[in-house]
Amino acid sequence: MTIYSQKITDAFQTVFSKIPSFIVRAPGRINLIGEHTDYNEGFVLPAAIDKAIYFAISPRTDWIGKLYAVDLNDSYEFSVDAIQKSSKSWANYLIGVTSELRTAGYVIPNGFEVAFGGDVPNGAGLSSSAAVESGMGFALSELFGLKVPRLELALTAQRAEHHFAGLQCGIMDMFASIHGKAHSVIRLDCRDLSYEYFPFNFVNYQLVLCNSGVKHTLADSAYNTRRQECEAGVAILKQFYPHIHSLRDVSLAQVEAHRTDFFENVYRRCRYVTGEIERVVAACEDLKRDDLEAFGKKMYETHEGLSKDYEVSCVELDFLVEQTFDKEEVLGARLMGGGFGGCTINIVKTEKVTDFIQQMIVSYQHHFNRKLVCHVVKITEGVEKLN
């Protein structure tokens, strides 16, 4: 049992005066390559990591759902057979999953008690909310013998995010938390949700996240604008290729052939997305060959595209990536997530990780007068029952 799973177990016993039926671990996720491709029906390459949310859960004999957020030291109760949104945003993630399971026809026969918390850092782009939703769905399925398939759990978590948290997110975060596999990345096809595992087990290198500590308010509005620009590009290309449905159906060569038909900003958005979709496919071939160096170069190409063509980076993220250019121990680095803040993800030689982190902290502090928090993460199994 980990420190965090023990902490959640102890909290459950203190709050509910009983031993939980079992513990569930739901991991956060990283995305190695394939950014802003999901809503263009392309490929992404995520993995589950060893930062996770833990759940302790037991059934009740009435219809009350009792929730306890350990890290917030906050409680909430709701009626399982008459579900309503809460004014507490954190509670809606769990209530939403319960509601969506019932809406899908799964029978939750009575109430339950759950305590949850963990070490997925908030605001770092590691998808703590998706881990909460994924873990809650899995815990309820196990507790009441619902036998919900893993893909359905991911879709349930996504619907909970849409309907109760109010964020129209894609499927990647929940999918990765639920389908993760140790020492492997998942190539998820965001068009039909088919997926394939590729090996990522390089003992001589580690994954290091450098959290800029920045979250610009531009992120949400820019996300919507980028989606609209991609759709505008598809509408133009449809005049020449009537069969296309999304940028997934378009090659980079086709975008270049029609450059003069686009506004400049739409051209650059389409150039990035089509190139990135092709890059994910090629990067998977690199992994098959154990060519981590070639994979790392593609990460740098992704960052360049996100910064210059897609314009979702910021000075802090560009600085963090640029600091790695002269470091031989770093094979690749890029911003991870929607952009305008959050983390960079770096592939760093194991023996140099400590030095790398220290140098990055010093240079970031010197340049921005802000503390840089770094996390070394390992790729792990997806959501699972611990006991």
H or E stretch covering 283:
helix 264-288
Annotated catalytic residue, options 119, 173, 249, 309:
173
* Residue partners of 253: CB distance under 8 A and separation at least 6: none
- Side-by-side strand order, sheet with 43-44: 43-44, 184-189, 195-199
End-to-end CA distance of the chain: 9
Contact call for residues 286 and 295 (beta carbons, < 8 A): yes
Contact call for residues 50 and 109 (beta carbons, < 8 A): no
Contact call for residues 128 and 53 (beta carbons, < 8 A): yes
Among 15, 53, 11, which residue's Cα sits nearest to residue 137? 53
Contact call for residues 219 and 338 (beta carbons, < 8 A): yes
Dist. CA 98–CA 192, nearest whole Å: 25
Q: For this structure, is 81 an active site residue?
A: no
DSSP 204-267: TEEEEEEEEEEE-THHHHHHHHHHHHHHHHHHHHHTT-TT--SGGG--HHHHHHTGGGS-HHHH
* Residue partners of 210: CB distance under 8 A and separation at least 6: 320, 343, 344, 346, 360, 364, 372, 373, 374
Q: How many beta carbons lie within 10 A of that of residue 3, not counting itself?
A: 8
Dist. CA 18–CA 200, nearest whole Å: 41
Contact call for residues 219 and 341 (beta carbons, < 8 A): yes
Q: 3-state DSSP call for residue 333?
A: strand
Q: Which residues are catalytic?
A: 173
